[in-house]
Chain A
């Protein structure tokens, strides 16, 4: 077998285009999904039984079904039910947002749980109204504690977003598959694609470890 990696530079632009879509999708969905996850976490800790029930069912459902099914459902069923055409990018964002919301809600739920009752007591003793307690004390600490896990969630999303290639979105995976098929050089091309994913994900994984140590030290009071 003869391997020829020199064919790759020709496709650098196409691969870069695919990577850019993957990165955009990941960044958008970690923000929208994170926001959804935060609201879900609040709902799951709320006093209302209805809110708790609805949010729990939501989270369990999206964690308990394959992402691929969720993608297909949003791409092919949602337009039929709503009667509107959605661009594939919008569909991708919706699907991954819904999924990421379920995942990050667990992250936020545990980080909210670590802000102790004593912090709440201190807030009351200082006369801080509920709004200030949440925005200035609880939220920043919960966010800070959640950051390493959120970053891990983002890395997972970056990798799992490759599933959108199955519904025809031209992300890094999709572009790689296409080049691989057209050149009949799967070993070279798919190896390169794997390495590109790794080159982005690995430094972030290391960053999570460092960040985690720092944040834990800072909040250790």
Chain B
């Protein structure tokens, strides 16, 4: 089903990422290499730096040291203590946040076409047609004219995913996109993500939902204290973790859920 996993060339290579907020060291030498077909789920304790990792990858945060390359091309580097970001590379990455972050003053359709029209110079008619097709696919066809405040959380999050997809990203980042949702709305968002997975969209997903992690991941990374503690297939990391710290974490999370 996931034939994208056969392509083994590196899509993202992160080397020695360091990042601190003042005295708080959040990333402490993070190395992750991601293949083109990978769907990486990042798990780990609260405050462990998962969101920071995604924000760095999205080019939203400066880093203190380390570098990231994307498709073999330098993306983020540190020169003389300054973070240099290749914005062209950044445009091929999409991100969905926990709190939707739709533009509240724009309708659903306008949210979707803003970036394609303003950034890529796409014609309004063609962007709108693509947007409508995406919304139809996500079961939101009838809501194109609605404003974000008129949508449920699950609908908002699906719109946010559609908005990111309008730019044809080569990599999608999801930071706890279902954490703010009522439980009965989680499935509709996860369904959309599983659909993307089926189309071999490379993704990095932060989630606390271990069932979902097991279903969507081709690889699970356990991150704690700003470093990668364990990295492997979901059966290993979620089922029979090698490291004591991972085991503790997994036991605790599953215990809470049980």
Contact = CB atoms under 8 A, between A and B. Distances in A.
Nearest to A116: B101
A219 B118 CA distance: 23
Q: Which 10 A-B pairs have the closest CB atoms?
A: A122-B101, A126-B115, A127-B91, A221-B104, A125-B95, A132-B118, A118-B101, A219-B104, A221-B148, A140-B105
A128 interface: yes
Interface of B: 55, 58-60, 87, 90-91, 93-95, 97, 99-105, 114-115, 118-119, 147-149, 156, 163-164, 167
B149 A126 contact: no
Most chain B CB within a 10 A radius of its CB, from A126, A137, A221: A126
Given A122-B103, A125-B93, 13 more contacts: A118-B97, A119-B103, A122-B102, A124-B59, A125-B60, A125-B164, A126-B167, A128-B114, A132-B114, A132-B118, A144-B105, A219-B105, A221-B100
B51 to A, nearest CB: 11
Contacts of A220: 104, 149
B105 A127 contact: no
Contacts of A125: 58, 60, 93-95, 97, 164
Given A124-B59, A125-B95, A125-B164, A221 B119 contact: no
Interface residues of A, number: 21
A121 B101 contact: yes
Contact of B101 (A119, A127, A129, A144): A119
Contact of B149 (A121, A140, A221): A221
B118 A218 contact: no
17 contacts: A122-B97, A122-B101, A122-B103, A124-B59, A125-B97, A126-B163, A127-B91, A127-B115, A128-B118, A132-B114, A132-B118, A137-B103, A140-B105, A144-B105, A218-B149, A221-B148, A221-B156
Contacts of B94: 125
Contacts of B167: 126-127
A141 interface: yes
A144 B167 CA distance: 28
Most chain B CB within a 10 A radius of its CB, from A125, A127, A217: A125
B122 to A, nearest CB: 13
Contacts of A136: 114, 118
A121 B99 CA distance: 11
B115 A141 contact: no
Contacts of A132: 114, 118-119
A218 B102 CA distance: 12
A97 B105 CA distance: 29
Given A126-B114, A128-B115, A118 B99 contact: yes
A124 B85 CA distance: 12
Contacts of A118: 97, 99, 101
Contacts of A126: 114-115, 119, 163-164, 167
A218 B105 contact: yes
A219 B147 CA distance: 9
A217 B167 CA distance: 30
Contacts of B163: 126
